[in-house]
Amino acid sequence: MQNIKFMDFCAGIGGGRIGLESLGMSCLGFSEIDKDAEVTYRYFFGKDEKNYGDLMKINPESLPDFDFMVGGFPCQTFSIMGTRCGLEDEERGQVIYGLVNILKAKDVKYFILENVKGLLNHDKGNTLKTVLELLDNAGYKVYYENLNSLDFGVPQMRERVYFVGVKKELIDDDFEYEFPKEFSGDKKDLEACLIADETLVFDEELASYQTFLKYLDNKYNKDKYSIDELLSKEYRVIDTRQSDLRIYHEKTPTLRRGRHGILYVKDGKFKKLSGYEALLLQNFPKKYADLVKDKVTNSKLLQQSGNAMTSTVIEEIGKSLMKAIGKE
């Protein structure tokens, strides 16, 4: 796969890129408008990487020729956590049109696109129908599937819908693609990701701890939990992002860009999930996480990780796609 060139659109901090590069593909550039994400991306991949900026303003003729597009087009418009205005959102929902324009102009052979699972039923399925029609009319045979990162080597529950497209002229009528069901490589356990920094101990010395105690006493949680009981099991994961406290074992809930209230128990203490650990939960290799340690703030890394693609999901989809088209 060394001769396959790709571009990384709505790149975030490069989870999709890591997935495809692990297969031997080469990245020719990226497109990202979030300046903070761009800083992190450059720490990972080099300061000289070409950012083509806002894809809605890109002249496709300025792009190099490439075979493969990977992109996580903005999900807030379709998410249950967002406004759910979908394709009517002029700033974010329309990005799919920009991606399609580039696909057609550059005659791209293959693509993997990602979005939240809320896209599947948004507007009673009409949004999904529109997206599929756009891609079909652009000349692609398209497949889509809702996959959970938990099945792809990381201890994080994260459902996302993935679209795979192949240029129709490259395949015959009998061509079929099947999404992978799980990661074929080594799986990370929770302990390998939760390697806390002592500065993120969550205890009585923090003002936010008193807020946590009040939270445990709200109408949803009152008389259900005690501090001693919560601290009694190592690596118990505690999600405080809803009104009711939620507990997980051997996995974490979905990382999100804007909501960071995940705690866990280690050495008999509460720890706050760090941005470094969030990167590991998205399967960014430790060598990448080390590049931004103490250089990008914890809050920014949490946001960026919550908005990133899980690299192993993209890796496995890319691998199965190359197998299907005979390029493995």
CATH classification of the domain holding 66: 3.40.50.150
**pLDDT score at 199:** 77
**pLDDT score at 6:** 97
Asked whether the predicted pLDDT for residue 241 surpasses 60, the reply is: yes
Are residue 60 and residue 100 in the same domain, yes or no?
yes
Are residue 320 and residue 224 in the same domain, yes or no?
no
pTM for this model (two decimals): 0.91
Are residue 202 and residue 164 in the same domain, yes or no?
no
Dmax (CA) for the chain in angstroms is: 66
Are residue 64 and residue 143 in the same domain, yes or no?
yes
Are residue 246 and residue 287 in the same domain, yes or no?
yes
Reduced to 3 states, what is the DSSP secondary structure of residue 269? strand
Q: What percent of the chain has pLDDT over 70?
A: 93
Are residue 26 and residue 97 in the same domain, yes or no?
yes
Are residue 49 and residue 167 in the same domain, yes or no?
yes
Are residue 148 and residue 280 in the same domain, yes or no?
no
The average pLDDT across 319-324 equals 95
More confident residue, 91 or 279: 279
Tokens 């101990």 belong to residue: 201
Are residue 154 and residue 204 in the same domain, yes or no?
no
The average pLDDT across 280-292 equals 96
Write down the catalytic residue from 10, 27, 75, 193: 75
Are residue 23 and residue 123 in the same domain, yes or no?
yes
- The mean pLDDT value of the chain amounts to 90
Are residue 58 and residue 143 in the same domain, yes or no?
yes
**Which domain, by its residues, includes 210?**
190-298
Residue 328 pLDDT grade (very low, low, confident, very high; cuts 50, 70, 90): low
Asked whether the predicted pLDDT for residue 235 surpasses 60, the reply is: yes
Known catalytic residue at 75: yes
Total number of domains constituting the chain: 2
Report residue 297: phi and psi, to 5°.
-65, 155
Asked whether the predicted pLDDT for residue 123 surpasses 90, the reply is: no
Are residue 17 and residue 145 in the same domain, yes or no?
yes
The average pLDDT across 43-67 equals 94
Helices (H), the chain: 15-21, 35-45, 95-106, 126-137, 190-193, 207-216, 227-230, 275-281, 286-292, 298-306, 311-324
